[in-house]
Structure 1
Amino acid sequence: MADRTDADWDALVQAKIFEVLSTAEMNVEAGPLASISTPADPRFPLTIDHTLLKQDATPAQIDTLCDEAIKYGFKSCCVNGLYIKQVAERLKDSHSIACSVIGFPLGAGSAEAKAYEAQQAIKDGALEIDTVLPIGLLVAKPPQYKRIFDHLKVIVDAASPVPVKVILETGLIPTPELKIAASFISAEAGAAFVKTSTGFAAGGATKADVSLMYQTVKYKGSVKVKASGGVRSFEACQEMFKAGAERIGTSSGVSLVQNSIPAAGCY
């Protein structure tokens, strides 16, 4: 894959775009977790990355996040790298894991800097990594597909065997074709998940985007979809599951499992 030229990548991406868009309406299928119909389903908490990524998050708030994850059985606590050691220590006797964002939220740092950040987070106890695709390379004219692949591959290889979720920031991607391209290249680079949004840019997870991403990456078998950004109700989670999502990134995890109204400021 590393020796693919720009022309090779363009041809591959165009073929994937044609495949997904030409069969999307005919091959609409429910996602693997579409049968989750109630917050009481034991699978539901395991889909949630309980998230606190605000700039002013305090150590005490991070402890509370961890305690909630332990109480409700969430899959992970997703935080900035500053707090990974604290989270890993707090969660060490639980089934929840530490997840670190890197190159967040802009995605515009060098691949080497992100790779180092990922390795440091893993050393500190992160068992999953969420990174942001370099969006400017995607929306360039023409899109720089090879450069995006090479960038992501550096990060995925540096983090291995810890899984990497690639955040596309779908609200900033103007066309379905480019969303397919971003999902496909991420899958080819070895991403474990493609993820909709950081929660810091305009737009968030939509059923249409999740479905498009799911239809794009399902050929890999092991690549999954994470819906993040504005998923604040159980009904919204159900929509995402039906569209193909298998993970939900949210700061509203507690209200979701309680099926209650999220607190102000949740995302």
Structure 2
Amino acid sequence: MPEKKLTAEQIAGMIDHSLLQPQLTLEEIEEGCRIAETYQTASVCVRGYDTAYCAKRLEGTGVKVASVVGFPHGNSSIEVKAFETKRYIKDGANEIDLVLPIGLLRSGYWDYAERELNEVLSECREHDVLLKVIFENSYLTRDEIIRCCEISTKVGVDFIKTSTGYAQVGATEEHIRLMRANTPAHIEIKAAGGIRTLDDFLLFYQAGATRQGTRSTVEIIEESIQRFGK
């Protein structure tokens, strides 16, 4: 879509404001919620133990709460990830961002990954909660990324996501285009990691990302207001 057709409001509605850094204090979490409410982002993406606080804080604002599961390395067992999902939904999560088991993907344990997705998706579907699946593309080959797309499509997740933002490389245009080419249109793509400017956002949006995770929400939206208007 040409840049001129995007408004700051539309851009904000595609941002998951990231509040995942381990050192963030509760005061900083509160400030992040204030930013999300002020700019009306799609969600705040939060650490598990912040879910209940953020859900209560943002109730009635229109901003959703996305909680991470198996974050950031995907190393928990299927049972633990399913428990995390159930707990965070109980605490008020509207969306779940799940990290796939990276080492097992690279080892070819595709059946395991599919079982994990089915277990977590079952918890999400029971409560009408969206599931975003994080591949962590920087550790995967092109063929492995395609296989993740195929499994995610088979299971029927809502979003596939490039990365956690905590590996050596975050979102790239090449990976987003690869993911878009290998999933049906109804499965959306989230980009995360290294999205710091409006131009970064627009590049990934034009490549196919309809949701983007960033800590640079204020900078991106303020620049978009200047460039495109509200």
TM (normalized to structure 2)? 0.92
**Could you say what the CA RMSD is over the residues aligned between the two structures, in angstroms?**
1.4
Specify the alignment match of 2:183 in structure 1.
Answer: 217
Q: State the secondary structure of the residue aligned to 2:45.
A: strand
Q: State the secondary structure of the residue aligned to 1:64.
A: helix
C-alpha offsets along residues 42-70 of structure 1, whole Å, 9 cap, x if unaligned?
A: 21100000011111111111110111011
Q: State the secondary structure of the residue aligned to 1:202.
A: coil
Instruction: Measure how far apart 1:242 and its partner are.
Output: 1.1
For the 8 Å contact 1:48–1:74, the answer to whether it is kept is yes
Specify the alignment match of 1:158 in structure 2.
Answer: 123
For the 8 Å contact 1:194–1:226, the answer to whether it is kept is yes
CA distance in 2, matches of 1:155, 1:88: 20
CA distance in 1, matches of 2:94, 2:176: 24
For the 8 Å contact 1:115–1:159, the answer to whether it is kept is no
CA distance in 2, matches of 1:257, 1:39: 11
Specify the alignment match of 2:211 in structure 1.
Answer: 247
Specify the alignment match of 2:193 in structure 1.
Answer: 229
CA distance in 1, matches of 2:168, 2:219: 23
Residue type matched to 2:206 in 1?
K
Q: State the secondary structure of the residue aligned to 1:259.
A: helix
TM (normalized to structure 1)? 0.80
CA distance in 2, matches of 1:237, 1:189: 28
C-alpha offsets along residues 104-147 of structure 1, whole Å, 9 cap, x if unaligned?
A: 0010111111111011101111000001011112111xx12212
C-alpha offsets along residues 18-44 of structure 1, whole Å, 9 cap, x if unaligned?
A: xxxxxxxxxxxxxxxx33447744211
Q: State the secondary structure of the residue aligned to 2:57.
A: helix
Percent identity over the alignment? 36
Q: Please, which of 238, 241, 250 is the counterpart of residue 202 of structure 2?
A: 238
**Larger of the two Rg values belongs to structure:** 1
1:193-212 equivalent positions in 2, closer than 5 A: 193-212=159-178
Residue 110 (structure 1) aligned with residue 77 (structure 2): yes
Structure 2, unmatched stretches of 5+, are: 225-230
Change (3 A) 1:152 1:255: same
Report the number of matched residues: 222
Residue 55 (structure 1) aligned with residue 22 (structure 2): yes
Change (3 A) 1:37 1:208: farther
For the 8 Å contact 1:84–1:125, the answer to whether it is kept is yes
Change (3 A) 1:38 1:237: farther
Structure 1, unmatched stretches of 5+, are: 1-33, 261-267
CA distance in 1, matches of 2:21, 2:151: 29
Change (3 A) 1:37 1:183: farther
CA distance in 1, matches of 2:70, 2:180: 24
Specify the alignment match of 1:258 in structure 2.
Answer: 222
C-alpha offsets along residues 59-93 of structure 1, whole Å, 9 cap, x if unaligned?
A: 11111011101100100001011111110111112
Q: Please, which of 83, 106, 111 is the counterpart of residue 146 of structure 1?
A: 111
Specify the alignment match of 1:42 in structure 2.
Answer: 9
Q: State the secondary structure of the residue aligned to 1:165.
A: strand
Q: State the secondary structure of the residue aligned to 1:100.
A: strand
Instruction: Measure how far apart 1:243 and its partner are.
Output: 0.8
